[in-house]
Structure 1
């Protein structure tokens, strides 16, 4: 006897369709990325250093399975010259359809900081940019954003726990690069509250028809067991409603979203964090550039601590 087609389809959704291709911890996490010693494309006050200088300056700590990436918090800067030494890492591998689960114990905080975990395709923006973790000046909650070339929009109604901010047009040209953002509803998804709660997990699920992003705090009772205790497979269909959801219904992913590299970086000031209206509204003192230059000890909490990155394809 054959099962009805709708039951076959339902069962298919719950097959663990993704198998782990990378389990990154500590030193092998670091080895899977390349430091990008480049000028800050966001016009900020950060100075992205190479791997050798990052080691020499004490910006990297590997402690067993934990990897810490931090900015310089001891050097007072002059008004001219390079900005505050910091990091920008790009994965050595590109990923097409995939699941990436980031176990993060601590994220950078402080006035002037702009931490981000994101993905980007080659020939930006034609192959897209997907921001998973992003925010400025310690302002909660987290924001995820999709940036594309022209002709990609999102429906007004989407099944996600977050809410659209800044409009539904994802084009960097139409929106002055703000894209189509999604604000999360949990304060502990970003900034000091995230750190005070012991961190948590972020996940992205990228397919040919949708991009979904999830967040669970460390003590969240709804954390899937396969996220908390990663194994060889995952089944995102069992994870519930995503925090941010971008379907392909009004955006052809074949032409707007290509294979992605993972980027982890910490910028200072720049086009978002340093914008006068944003920096001042965050309750931060002085100007962003002057504050970053003159107050190194203010950045003692400006670091990422990664417990793990598991990737499934």
Structure 2
């Protein structure tokens, strides 16, 4: 959720060619940007941490540790009523407000997490109401499988993310599993860490995605991150939803971090049955290896959020087709509430297995 030094397919003015998302004037070295994943005070340092690395090789090693779904969601996630660390044009409301406004609820055994899509705002005001969630439980290693019926649509100004982060950022790292901005349809998976984590991407079966940013995940003090862009045009946003939703599976061990995306019709049977076996899933979209992951990533909580503009989406606004509609990202988000009617998560479940 930090400002990205990356390449993402976003339409440019008069062009359909992918464009670099960070220009020199946007680099953290030139512009101070506070940690988007939040300083340590945001996180509950007393929350339980579970080391899920049992170093077992068999399929039976993937034992279910936690299920987050409509039956227990509100007791297992906390609403973060905080100022946006990414400087977005957003107002993260508290749980009572979120529920009273219908931004956070369960429906048809699914969890809905959305934004205000009715109110015209002052572009110099506090920003559009949204909900940011953090799991009460923290993890070190695990197989995290998120089943989404719907993700926030590909809309100008929006910046949704599903990710994991440890306290004392960037020392305990960050794993961005699902993230993008504006009208993009290609997901980006990014690691942020302290300096010295330089992954390789051609080991243990390779990856189908493309490395698009820094070599060192700690570049720029951790702000830049090392990212991989999906090769699937249905892996993010509106295209993901039109394709029927799907599953993101993240395998985090001492030896690496891998991310798979499956459209709903292609979800492996062993995921559906609750007996996941990553060895049968084929090439992951992102495959980070070759770093001392145990030294860089630990004690991570799961986060959901939807912000607007800010350090990444706002920083690249002028290089996208969105700027032809309104020269200001904040002004567009303030004046076009109807554009965000599909800016919501609809979650079937998130399951965490031991590895």
Fold conserved (TM > 0.5)? yes
Rounded Cα–Cα distance in structure 1 between residues aligned with 2:240 and 2:292: 34
Q: Deviations over 1:65-85 (max 9, x none)?
A: 201111000111113331100
After TM superposition, list the pairs within 5 Å mapping 1:6-85 onto structure 2. 13-85=57-129
- Secondary structure of the 2:119 match is coil
Asked if residue 303 in structure 1 is aligned to residue 344 in structure 2, the reply is yes
Gaps in structure 2 of 5+ consecutive residues: 1-55
Distance 1:23 1:162 in 2: 28
Aligned pairs, number: 294
Cα deviation, residue 105, structure 1: 1.1
Output aligned runs, 1:203-242, within 5 Å.
Answer: 203-220=249-266, 223-227=267-271, 229-231=272-274, 233-242=275-284
Give the Cα separation in 2 of the matches to 1:278 and 1:181.
20
Secondary structure of 1:188's aligned partner? coil
Secondary structure (helix, strand or coil) at the match of 1:133 reads strand
TM-score after normalising by structure 1 = 0.89
For residues 74 and 280 of structure 2, the distance between their equivalents in structure 1, rounded to whole angstroms, comes to 30
For 1:142-161, what aligned pairs fall within 5 Å after superposition? 142-155=187-200, 157-158=202-203, 159-161=206-208
Which of 309, 313, 319 in structure 2 is aligned with 1:269? 309
Q: Could you tell me how far 1:307 is from its partner in structure 2? A: 1.0
Q: 1:258, CA displacement in angstroms? A: 1.1
Question: How do 1:118-197 and structure 2 match up within 5 A?
Answer: 118-155=163-200, 157-158=202-203, 159-173=206-220, 177-197=223-243
Match of 2:287 in 1: 245
Q: What residue number does 1:4 align with? A: none
Q: Which runs of 5+ in 1 are unaligned?
A: 1-11
Structure 2 residue corresponding to 1:115, chosen from 149, 160, 163: 160
Relative to the length of structure 2, the TM-score reads 0.79
Query: Of 279, 292, 305, which aligns to 2:333?
Result: 292
Matched residue of 2:146: which SS?
strand
Q: Report the Cα distance in structure 2 between the residues aligned to 1:107 and 1:121, rounded to whole angstroms.
A: 24
Residues 180/111 of structure 1: CA separation in 2 closer, same or farther (3 Å cut): same
Q: Which residue of 2 aligns with 1:199?
A: 245
**Counterparts of 1:129 and 1:282 in 2: how far apart (Å)?**
30
